[in-house]
Each structure stands twice: as C-alpha cells, then as structure tokens.
C-alpha cells in the first residue's frame, strides 16, 4: 500500500506549486551550497530561505568564501530563523571543512553530524542530495504525514525513520522526503489538511486528523 500511495503522490507532485521545489532547484549548485542551503532552511520557511539563498550564493560557493565574507554572513542570511547562531555555526563549519576535509562535504553521517548545528535530518538530506546515498530524511511533514496515512505509528522523527526503513522500498528512500514535504506544503498541511482535494483520500485513514479520522479504515 505504501508504494501505491507514494507512486500516486510522485506522479501528482508535478502539479504542485510547492516552495520546496524551488528550494531544491536553487540549492542544486555544488555540494557545499547544498549543505549551506539545507543548514539554513532548518526552522525557516522555504520561501524565506529561497530569498536569502538567491543573494547569498552570489558571494558563497565554497568554505573559503564563508571565511572571506565572515563579517557579512549575519547580514546576508537575515531573516532566516536563528540567523545569528546560524552565522556563527556556518563559519565554524567552513573552518572545519577547510582544515579537516580539504574543503569537501563529508559523505558519511558520522562526520556530518559532528559538524556544529548539523543533526540527523540535515545530514540525511545532504547524503542524498550530494552523494545519492539512499537515506530517509524525516522532518515534521514526513513524520506527520507518515502517521496520518498509517504507514507508521511513531512518536518522533527518529522512530519514523527506522520504521519506514522496514516498509519502504529503498528506491524511494531519498525521494520520499521531497515528495512528502511538497505534499505537506500544499495539501496535507499541519492544520486543516485539504482532504477534499487529496489524490490519496480513498486510501487514507486520516489518523490524528480531528473530525475526519477513520479508525475502522481497512486497507484493501
Ligand atoms: S486524506 Fe487528508 S490526512 Fe490523508 S493524506 Fe490526504 S490530506 Fe492528508
């Protein structure tokens, strides 16, 4: 069932005008810029991050550029969430990459999550987008929708990641995040999901959706 639903959403996603699509496009430059974009997007709306990246990437292409423009970073990344802290951490990351990784973005989760401010969700997105490594990155959209659809019954993103790994074919692991984030931005929103126009409404138990939940839903 999960595969059937993901195939439908993947096909439908070409019609969605979701911010995450533009975000992916604008940050498709090089591995370091993918890291910067993903890092800055944390706890910030994609629309805000996109505006910031358009300007920032005029200056920043490598870790050396971050070091060179250290005095401007805070101003350049405003108004992303926690811009002061992120500016400091971005500079630390740039220095670590220059000194320890020959200015390359690490290609494994252990090294990535050792970078300041880089958690598992960010690291997984980087692994997939920079190196095509199949990993499931779970943010709030992915966690919420996977539970609403009844794919998993989990309390936090880490549990969701581990449960999805058991039931989702590996070929979808990387794409799963992009599809569900776009879906979560335009249809299966956190508050008031648009079930009436949802392409998988007939297949969804709507678990946890107030007033619409179908606990007797039987998978066909
Ligand atoms: S039917 Fe509603 S809750 Fe289920 S996936 Fe669609 S929008 Fe989300």
User: Which residues of the chain form CATH 1.10.1670.10?
Assistant: 2-16+136-203
How many Å apart are CA 110 and CA 62, to the nearest integer?
Answer: 22
Handedness of CA 172, 160, 140, 106 (dihedral sign): negative
Residue 216 has pLDDT above 80, yes or no: no
Q: Ligand 1: which of 184, 190, 206 to mutate, most ligand atoms within 8 Å of CB?
A: 206
Q: Is 144 in the pocket of ligand 1 (CB under 6 A)?
A: no
User: Which residues of the chain form CATH 1.10.340.30?
Assistant: 19-131
pLDDT digits (tens, 9 = 90+) for 64-93: 999 999 999 999 999 998 999 999 999 999
Q: Ligand 1: which of 203, 209, 213 to mutate, most ligand atoms within 8 Å of CB?
A: 209
**CATH placement of domain 19-131:** 1.10.340.30
From the CA of 25, how far away is ligand 1's center (Å)?
A: 26
How is domain 2-16+136-203 classified at the CATH fold level? Endonuclease Iii, domain 2 (1.10.1670)
From the CA of 206, how far away is ligand 1's center (Å)?
A: 6
In the chain, DSSP finds a helix count (H) and a strand count (E) of 12, 0
- What residues contact residue 118 under an 8 Å CB cut-off, 6+ apart? 39, 93, 112, 126
What's the gap between Cα 151 and its chain centre? Answer: 19
What would the two tokens of residue 129 be? 């987008």
pLDDT digits (tens, 9 = 90+) for 176-215: 999 999 999 999 999 999 999 999 999 999 999 988 888 6
pLDDT digits (tens, 9 = 90+) for 28-50: 779 999 999 999 998 899 899 99
């Amino acid at each position: 069932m999960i595969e059937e639903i993901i195939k439908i959403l993947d096909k439908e996603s070409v019609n969605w005008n979701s911010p995450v699509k533009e975000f992916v496009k604008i940050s498709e430059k090089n591995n370091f810029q993918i890291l910067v974009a993903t890092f800055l997007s944390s706890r910030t709306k994609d629309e805000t991050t996109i505006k910031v990246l358009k300007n920032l990437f005029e200056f920043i292409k490598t870790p050396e550029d971050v070091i060179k423009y250290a005095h401007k970073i805070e101003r350049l990344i405003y108004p992303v969430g926690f811009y002061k802290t992120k500016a400091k951490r971005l500079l630390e990351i740039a220095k670590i990459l220059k000194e320890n990784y020959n200015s390359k973005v690490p290609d494994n989760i252990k090294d990535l999550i050792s970078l300041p401010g880089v958690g598992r969700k960010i690291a997984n997105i980087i692994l997939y987008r920079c190196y095509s490594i199949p990993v499931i990155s779970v943010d709030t959209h992915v966690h919420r929708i996977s539970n609403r659809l009844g794919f998993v019954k989990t309390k936090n993103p880490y549990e969701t990641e581990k449960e999805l790994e058991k039931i989702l074919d590996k070929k979808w692991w990387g794409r799963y995040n992009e599809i569900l984030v776009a879906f979560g931005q335009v249809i299966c929103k956190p508050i008031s999901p648009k079930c009436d126009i949802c392409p998988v409404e007939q297949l969804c138990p709507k678990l946890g959706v107030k007033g619409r939940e179908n606990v007797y839903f039987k998978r066909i």
